[in-house]
């Protein structure tokens, strides 16, 4: 009779995996090693519970919980809309009823890929996170489950943080295409129109285009679903009279809670220095118009001995694959300092 297949969602697989984390491949029997299918690079697929933990962490993340997600290992092209999605509404009923070729908005038509292309090619890239653990801790038989839980939390948190960073500022080549770089690539920018005050009022005026009719403001449907990403480099200036975008109450007080003008707010480094003229103060991003293609279910972890880590330590490297891009260029807008 053949061996019973040990699946990733079984308790037996979890027990074997726990041994692999603590002892390495040499600590496994031949049957156990075959169950994990350890690759030549030393990686092994994590138990299903680890993948489910990723889903739990995503649901609690300010950015990842709101983007569109699809699990697929397949590469594919997706057109990028260049029109306000609201033009797809209110198509005349008579036109639909008579099949008289009603007019619908169409995606950008063309064959240009890249940062500002007419379509984006989703080709998943590897995302990694690592953590070092002392060998004494790994050899502690009483703390086996605690060690596994520590590794799972540390590695998953690292992966989630890195994917979130790429969604905002990824380069689009070796990383996901970040929304901030998409806004630059598609020239989705607006200026505060003033060089000295840069108040929240100036930022909002730029978003709505009230200071300059030539600006391309953020459509209302994107505005109400946006996350306001404030350039954390603004914190380098502690003068609220110069960068009061950090003090939106107009009374010199810091942001109260997690919203600005009713929008969820996060801080992220959008530049290397304090924003000069033309640099971005706030990036507005509608996560509902961002697609993340991933293979989180194929979550794997590699274990490296002290030959790769430090003396008396073992390093664990977790990896997943994903790629992402905005699907509508009207989903993003960079508000720059005048």
The DSSP annotation for 193-232 comes to S-SS---HHHHHHHHHTTT-TTS-PPPHHHHTT-EEEEEG
Task: Show me where the domains of the chain are located.
Answer: 183-289+328-336
Q: What's this model's pTM, rounded to 2 decimal places?
A: 0.81
Name the helix (H) or strand (E) containing 323: strand 313-326
How many CB atoms lie under 10 A from the CB of residue 313? 17
Cα separations in angstroms, 258 against 159, 160, 231, 268: 23, 20, 15, 14
Average pLDDT over every residue of 8-13: 89
The DSSP annotation for 100-156 comes to -------PPPS--BSTTSSEEEE--EEEEEEEEEEHHHHT-GGGHHHHHHHHHHHHH
Q: Which of 169, 173, 194 is nearest to 183 (CA)?
A: 169
Q: What percent of the chain has pLDDT above 70? A: 72
Distance, in Å, from the CA atom of 175 to the CA atom of 218, rounded to the nearest integer, reads 26
Q: What is the pLDDT of residue 252?
A: 35
Angle (CA) 186-267-211 rounded to 5° is 50
Q: What is the pLDDT of residue 22?
A: 85
The larger pLDDT score, comparing residue 26 to residue 113, is at: 26
Per-residue pLDDT tens digits for 246-258: 444 333 333 444 4
What's the residue count for the chain? 338
Kindly report the average pLDDT of the chain as a whole number.
78
Check pLDDT > 80 for residue 278. Answer: yes
**Alpha carbons within 13 A on the beta-carbon side of 311:** 0
Q: What is the pLDDT of residue 228?
A: 87
Average pLDDT over every residue of 51-65: 86
Residues with Cβ within 8 Å of residue 315, at least 6 apart in sequence: 130, 131, 132, 133, 303, 304, 308, 309
Q: What is the pLDDT of residue 337?
A: 85
Fold of 183-289+328-336: hypothetical protein PF0899 fold (3.30.2320)
Question: Could you tell me the strand order of the sheet in which 263-268 lies?
Answer: 189-191, 332-336, 280-285, 227-231, 263-268, 259-260
Q: What is the pLDDT of residue 262?
A: 62
């Amino acid at each position: 009779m053949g061996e019973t297949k040990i699946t990733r969602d079984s308790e037996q697989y979890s027990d074997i995996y726990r041994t692999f984390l603590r002892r390495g491949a040499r600590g496994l029997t031949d049957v156990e090693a075959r169950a994990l299918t350890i690759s030549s690079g030393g990686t092994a697929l994590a138990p299903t519970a680890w993948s489910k933990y990723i889903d739990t962490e995503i649901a609690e993340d300010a950015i990842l919980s709101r983007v569109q997600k699809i699990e697929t290992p397949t590469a594919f092209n997706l057109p990028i809309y260049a029109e306000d999605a609201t033009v797809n509404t209110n198509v005349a009923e008579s036109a639909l009823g008579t099949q008289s070729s009603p007019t619908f908005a169409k995606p950008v038509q063309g064959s240009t890929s890249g940062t500002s292309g007419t379509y984006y090619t989703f080709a998943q890239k590897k995302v990694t996170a690592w953590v070092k653990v002392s060998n004494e801790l790994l050899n502690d038989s009483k703390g086996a489950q605690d060690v596994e839980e520590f590794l799972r939390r540390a590695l998953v948190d690292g992966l989630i943080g890195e994917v979130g960073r790429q969604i905002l500022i990824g380069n689009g080549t070796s990383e996901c295409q970040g929304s901030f770089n998409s806004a630059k690539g598609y020239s989705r920018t607006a200026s505060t129109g003033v060089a000295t005050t840069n108040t929240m009022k100036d930022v909002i005026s730029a978003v709505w285009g009230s200071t300059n009719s030539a600006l391309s403001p953020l459509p209302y449907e994107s505005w109400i679903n946006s996350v306001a990403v404030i350039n954390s480099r603004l914190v380098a200036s502690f003068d609220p009279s110069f960068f009061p975008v950090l003090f939106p109450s107009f009374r010199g007080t810091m942001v109260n809670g997690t919203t600005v003008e009713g929008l969820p707010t996060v801080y992220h480094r959008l530049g290397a220095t304090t924003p000069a003229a033309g640099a971005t103060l706030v990036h507005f991003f509608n996560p509902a118009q961002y697609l993340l293609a991933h293979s989180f279910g194929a979550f794997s972890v590699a274990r490296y001995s002290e030959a790769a880590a430090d003396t008396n330590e073992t390093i664990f490297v977790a990896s997943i694959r994903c790629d992402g891009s905005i699907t509508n260029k009207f989903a993003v807008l960079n508000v720059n300092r005048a």
